[in-house]
Structure 1
């Protein structure tokens, strides 16, 4: 709080300092801007250097701007080389812009602490650069989806019926987990989400960063470092680093508004954003960005194939009394009559994206206090408020343990409503001391997720007395990071061409909290459906966090690093980094990295790196505890998610011994990785670039959330003792994996006819293999398959084949005059579903479960947009995402359902608290979702400021 107040006072002071008068004499400068071919260039930004006084060229390439006679004008446009030209008293200035070599030659800062950035084809590791223009050109409006379609190594897809994961999209880089990629904002560590994914989605058991809390309007560019970087940045950077650079040089006001909906008529989107750039008399900048988004839900459910809606039991099956074909037909006819009479819709689920409303804003500010020593103060602050609503599984009127006919005579569809609050502030000072650039900063971030359950009930309350809304609790994560960094570039060190030296210290404090929900959201009030058959406790779909689940735990860590980078010769670049960390809860770690780049020809180079990395177990994984009621085939099961410190997890089991027995799992420790990469970069002629990079990532002791150990097993029953739960799951360093892959990126830009053509080919191919399962003596000693429960084949499938193992992106853009067209097609590779029941086929009643395993074939998804710059202030874009309305393959599970609805059709890939598919789950979400085609229109407004 003190940091935030200090930052606010500093901001007000500096704004006052920056409001002085302007004394220079102004003149009006006019001119015309053309391209390399001599054609007029509309929309070119013309800026007075060091200020936000600027304009843009009209349809004929002409401009007019009032500036001091001593001003320097900066001319910039996408795809062209920026030019800075002093006026020297002139009042007329015509400019011809030259083509930039390629978008891939942008200067990047991620992956190197050098005081001067390098072109990303000259770095030792591959870095993708996504510009603000690429962010805006298609219809994706949140960061995770933008990266999914632009960067082939990045993957994220929206989930359904997976509790909090419906509202925080899990994302991965190079096929690894959501928590194995580090996110930075302006080069500073971004805090993670409070949510740990505990349901049946990709990334199960992981904690990621909610990228969608950052408004698109605030982003200048995104740099994706595709290489291990724990030695440079610390924990989580096993797969790579995503650095979001915020706007710091915007001229005037830029705003956009987007509307659209799916071909099916749902998922309607209303989105608006704006960015305002204010110059502070040449000594700094103030960028303010805001975004509003209202996204409707989509629904692609199938019809419920439950034989009986009103007169059945146990998930809609026939009761035991219907023991003949004749009785079943009679009962079916009666039930069908009730369905028709009540107008019951068998499409009783909502499977698709959740509905969400988002308000967010960011401030990015910098001001030079003392130019003589380069003393600069900077502040970056943001806040997001997002509400969401997603459905669970429908409660049939015949599911008596879960419903109350006096409240919901036709059953009910419960909803999980979330409120996500995210706040962050970065404040710091930069200066130059003894030749070193010094950066002292503090970064604070907090993410909280509140759960409110609606259209539900607590079935254990007396008939007719249950509320239909409950507060189910809040989870929150806070992180505060302080950094002191020193950087200096030497040009006269022995025989070295250059030597960049960087070193620094970091102190970080983390806190994780769970707040219990109201009593009615979790308690049992004792109502019996029949003697010995209690009704389910807690709010249906999401029982609230109990007082025993509540937690408030913290930890801290201290780190020091050194980073050396040298141009040994004009051809050879070498970098070495080392980082030591000490965590208060599990001990020490050291990471190192060696990387090099060598030019074998003037335009061809090889590069490679070897490093070891780590990921500290998150506080969410260490301390999350929850007891919930989950229904399997209509039967309630009390499932305990217990933290790793609990005796149930940690103690060893000894038959006949007294005291708390346990699974003998060791304490959670850091994941450790070895990263290898080797690549080639090439510049072809003047307009094209090519990079090819292969990699291997070995990870030991990956943390996973186990499958559910059932009391039906004698060892598990002895461990659980008298606890009122039937199943238990926990976190463990359970597996070792190896990921191998290759990234290819090629880019070309050339003049074609009267316009310019841009072509990009980018691809990622990866394969992850689980090489070892790390168990315990207690689990290994059991001969009934407990090791398969610790890490079953369905979980293995999520890691090895649950996401596309290849992705290819082909993009083409053509612009001529005021018109442009952009086309992009992305090939999402195949994914595979594996059924866990094959771990124990003897217990599966003779069904052929191998037929449930399914591979979903690769698909091409194509986007197309058309844009026109109506004048220098207004542009219009129309288009469609997934223009050919492509869907993933359908689940074969639906073809296997039988009238009795035994277990063959009972499990969907992404089931949540009630794994009862019954023909309703049609598509696998983990390739590219299943919303189908989406058409949109976008209005863009650019209002430059002028004096």
Structure 2
């Protein structure tokens, strides 16, 4: 009976609105040349009653009799408002012709406010950038992270090299903060993070980010970047801000085929690599004027690049000078013989692969809406991406006896990490109106999994000649399910206090993190299951597990879950057009560490026509990720060209408790911003200053290495889990530091008439500085100065303070004349600085550690250019170049200590004591800090077809 009643109620819900709303407003949305603006939004002001323009630019609104203010808007165009008087049983024809706006990061936004009142980025109380599909088509980059790196000045992301899984998932930063301090939304719904935690020596070490490149660029209508703390509105992670990816709606067939490659010259050598083929396709279908479904797909095959240098170590086949080589002449003779042997065997001193990993990426994404009635809409989105990557590690020389089996690789080998990344997402929801209240109920699920297969490698601990050369090393998996209920209403008044928007909501989120073990030989010392002991060389143990990436052990494997519940209230009051005030409050409770309460207050004051002052004060938080709480493994890492077995333990390990470190707790932030906005004719500007204070930031500690001798705190602790002393050092996550970030964002844009055509100009910039204001260890660590030095070294501190450019300035110009479109952009990437872990002046191997092992890399300008020709309305050819003038970062240099002696002529030195920023000449450019990568010029051609 109840089921029958429910079905009858749903039938009435679908039928009655048709009888009540016999009136219609219909028409087309066109550009100044009469072309349809597909996907343009037509909305009745102060309501959620709206529609999207179809492939022919047509729209349809069902209304009751009355007078309406209706706004048509589209990304890249100026909005237009018209008044409509609708009588009973009337169909009113109302067309809109929109003028093109400048490429200015300055379009209609919904992010940062739950008001039904649409605003541009100059009208919002906090800074928001908008990057439209039209602008993304103009740029010379292919990946989403690289597009944003060159378009949004406050966003920074670079591909990493020789960093295991991080070679395949680019860490990103907003306002100089970490990858895990920016929240990513898709269509306003929380996106899941990756399964990978970055544990290698790159920017973002110890963090878990979101893989933006798992979303096809062809699926995106626009990108909204909220540059302000928003945890009180959207929950955990939104300390630096929020990135919202809005998917396409109803669009015509659009296909693009691109081919490009690096054509570059650096340090006297030419390169032609990184060959990239990319195919994009998207199409939106109208569902009988009741909704749409848009399907987009992307395929990319990107070749690897290599900018590695020559290995400068004097001996390749023997790790030490023989005792008889006590003279300069004897050493020169031995090195010459070693070089001759390498040349005869085909062992090249250019033995590394330092550059982009090779990647094959296929992704598909769908976005849909369907009106069940005038007041109820069903919507959803789904996506799947498969990314197959291949990256290389450090070359294993034949002289590294504990890591090699000469019967398999007589000349050594370059091990390779092959990743298979699967990313799945989906969401379904209902939204509509109940009386005057807007409501939205949704469920969103996402998961990311990474499988590791290691090739061209071996397990050196197995009996000579028996090791496989390929291993399955295990997997990581992260899944997230989010249920949201949001309600909002706009109240309008006749006095000075003209409107109040109220919004309330709740969120229930479940998370699941898994580590899956690899096959036995990928991690074992010998073969325990067959009672085969690990191989020894004299008294030294050979390295266990697959070289470059030992597999996850059964002891590492785990499945961990948690839940959290959040509730929020959001208010926004309008005092005519003079003043806008907002306030938000959010409470969240986590099953594993407790609760948090965040607030936010915003304001915008119109000073006079076109000029306004805006600001915000807020608190925020970031919950420790499940990865940071539970990740654990054992890996081989190279420190000063020496292989070390590094143990990563989680907060449940007795090792961590012996260091006196407790369970992880959330990071807490205080955000302040103050800005000035203005719009004067075609010219617009936003200038915003900000400060972000973060307490108890979670860091991945420096490595606590064993002390020389048998005593010492670290030795005592490690011996409890490693009595055979095969582990060289240990590291873990801890809330160890406080930071303060200050900065300034500027966006200026104008549209200038040049004859009958328009020149769009944009100047934007970000200037930021992060300082570590406190380093605090446990009572055990604070009591031992050597432990505190190793808790968070100078090198780790530089990752927070100086590994992201302190400034970025973006100048762009877009000019269209007849069938031609020209786009020019030049970006100034500010300086970055690498600081070594060892304090300059400290004595290392009897020699003072040099100050010039620290290195500052100077600012550089990188210029992109594209030229497009439209043969007709359907076919466009684009030629372009990223980094047109082939600019590279400053070259990393070998420090003064290295220049104090020559390995081949100084009989007192062993080359294994070398310390330099090039890792014995193999890294010509720094991999620890990066401004814009080091691949040089990339040229491409692209054919676009629309029909």
TM-score (norm 1): 0.88
Q: For residue 407 of structure 1, report the CA deviation from its aligned partner.
A: 1.1
Q: Does 1:292 align with 2:299?
A: yes
How many residues get paired? 877
Question: 1:269 matched to which residue of 2?
Answer: 276
> Which aligned pairs between 1:20-31 and structure 2 lie closer than 5 A?
none
Question: d(CA) in 2 for partners of 1:566 and 1:592?
Answer: 16
Q: Which of 773, 776, 792 pairs up with 1:774?
A: 776
Aligned to 2:701: 706
- Secondary structure of the 1:334 match is helix
User: Does residue 1:359 correspond to 2:362, yes or no?
Assistant: yes
Looking at structure 1, the residues matched to 379 and 96 of structure 2 have their Cα atoms a distance apart, in angstroms, of 34
Structure 1 residue 336 and structure 2 residue 339: aligned?
A: yes
> In 2, distance between residues paired with 1:493 and 1:788?
64
Using the TM superposition, give the Cα deviation of residue 493 of structure 1 relative to its aligned residue in structure 2, in angstroms: 8.2
- The answer as to whether partners of 2:350 and 2:922 remain within 8 angstroms in 1 is no
Match of 2:721 in 1: 723
**Which residue number in structure 1 is paired with residue 177 of structure 2?**
176
- Determine if the alignment matches structure 1 residue 676 to structure 2 residue 668: no
* Alpha-carbon distance in structure 2 between the residues aligned to 1:363 and 1:763: 34
d(CA) in 1 for partners of 2:843 and 2:776?
25
Among 664, 667, 679, which residue is 2:663 paired with? 667
Answer with 131-140 or 897-906: which moved more.
Answer: 897-906
**CA deviation digits over 1:113-163, x for unaligned, max 9?**
112221111111000000001111122111111110000100000000000
Summarize deviations over 1:367-409 as a string: whole Å, max 9, x none.
Answer: 00021xx111111000000000000000111211111111111
Provide the C-alpha distance between the structure 2 equivalents of 1:47 and 1:559, rounded to a whole number of angstroms: 34
Distance 2:127 2:728 in 1: 49
Q: CA deviation at 1:85?
A: 12
- Cα distance between partner residues in 1 of 2:449 and 2:103: 41
Looking at structure 1, the residues matched to 703 and 417 of structure 2 have their Cα atoms a distance apart, in angstroms, of 23
Change (3 A) 1:95 1:458: closer
Which residue of structure 1 aligns with residue 202 of structure 2?
A: 201
**Residue 45 of structure 1 contacts residue 75 of structure 1 at CA under 8 Å; is this kept in 2?**
no
- Aligned partner of 2:114 in structure 1 is 113
In 2, distance between residues paired with 1:42 and 1:433?
37
Where does residue 614 of structure 1 map in the other structure? 621
Superposition deviation, residue 531 in structure 1 = 1.9
Which residue of the partner structure matches residue 934 of structure 2? Answer: 930
Distance 1:319 1:486, change over 3 A: farther
**What does 1:817-836 correspond to in 2, within 5 Å?**
817-836=818-837
Q: How far off its partner does 1:100 sit? A: 4.0
Would the aligned equivalents of 2:517 and 2:554 in 1 still touch at CA under 8 Å? Answer: yes
Q: 2:590 aligns with which of 578, 583, 589?
A: 583
CA contact (8 A) 1:347 1:920 kept: no
Deviations 1:240-297 (A, max 9, x none): 00000001131x2111111100012100110001111100111101000101000000
Distance in structure 2 (CA, Å) of the matches to 1:833 and 1:475: 31
Q: How far apart are 1:107 and its partner, in Å? A: 1.6
Tell me the distance in 1 between the aligned counterparts of 2:75 and 2:536.
Answer: 71
Structure 1 unaligned runs (5+)? 1-12, 18-28, 57-64, 651-661, 910-915
User: Hey, what does 2:163 align to over in structure 1?
Assistant: 162
Write the deviation string for residues 60-84 of structure 1: whole angstroms up to 9, x where unpaired.
xxxxx999xxxx9999794455699
SS of the residue 1:266 aligns to: strand
Give the 5 Å matches for 1:190-229.
190-229=191-230
- Whether the aligned pair in 2 keeps the contact of 1:75 and 1:84 (CA below 8 Å) is no
1:574 correspondence with 2:581: yes
| 8 A Cα contact 2:841 2:851, kept in partner | no
Instruction: Please tell me whether the aligned partners of residues 553 and 619 of structure 1 are also in contact (alpha carbons under 8 angstroms).
Output: yes
Q: In the alignment, is the contact (CA less than 8 A) between 1:297 and 1:355 conserved in 2?
A: yes
With over 3 angstroms needed to count, the CA separation of the structure-2 counterparts of 1:667 and 1:323, relative to structure 1, is: same
Q: Distance in 2 between matches of 1:554 and 1:281?
A: 43
Structure 2 counterpart of 1:654? none
Question: What TM-score, normalized by structure 2, do the two folds share?
Answer: 0.88
Distance across 1 between alignment mates of 2:576 and 2:535 = 81
Retained in 2: the 8 A contact 1:47–1:73? no
**Does structure 1 residue 519 correspond to structure 2 residue 505?**
no
**Aligned-residue offset at 1:568:** 2.6
TM-superposed deviation, 1:93: 12
Distance 2:415 2:623 in 1: 36
Local SS of the residue matching 1:134: helix
| Distance change >3 Å, CA 210–CA 101, structure 1 → 2 | closer
TM-aligned CA deviation for residue 33 of structure 1: 8.1
| Structure 2 residue corresponding to 1:639, chosen from 633, 639, 646 | 646
Aligned-residue offset at 1:563: 0.2
Equivalents in 2 of 1:623, 1:636: separation in Å? 25
Q: Which moved more, 1:896-905 or 1:285-294?
A: 896-905
CA distance in structure 2 between the partners assigned to 1:524 and 1:299 by the alignment = 33
Q: Measure the CA separation in 1 of the matches of 2:734 and 2:685.
A: 41
SS of 1:579's partner is strand
1:735 matched residue in structure 2:
737
Among 548, 551, 554, the residue aligned to 1:544: 551
Task: Say if 2:102 and 2:749, in contact at 8 Å, map to a contact too.
Answer: no
Query: In angstroms, what is the RMSD of aligned CA positions?
Result: 3.0
Change (3 A) 1:729 1:241: same
2:700 aligned with 1:696: no
Residue equivalent to 1:489 = 490
| Aligned residue number for residue 509 of structure 2 | 508
Q: What SS does structure 1 have at the residue aligned with 2:253?
A: strand
Per-residue deviation at 1:638?
Answer: 2.5
* 3-state SS in 2 of match to 1:135: helix
Asked whether 1:148 is paired with 2:149, we answer: yes
Report the counterpart of residue 397 of structure 1 in structure 2: 398
Partner of 1:913: none
Contact in 2 for aligned 1:45/1:77 (Cα 8 Å)? no
Aligned-partner SS, 1:175: coil
Partner of 1:6: none
Give the corresponding residue for 1:656. none
CA contact (8 A) 2:611 2:679 kept: yes
Is contact 1:698-1:738 (8 Å) kept? yes
Match of 1:658 in 2: none
Alignment of 1:878-893 (within 5 A): 878-893=879-894
C-alpha separation between the residues in 2 aligned to 1:223 and 1:73? 20
Is 1:258 aligned to residue 263 of structure 2? Answer: no
- The 8 Å contact of residues 788 and 839 in structure 1, kept in 2 or not, is answered as no
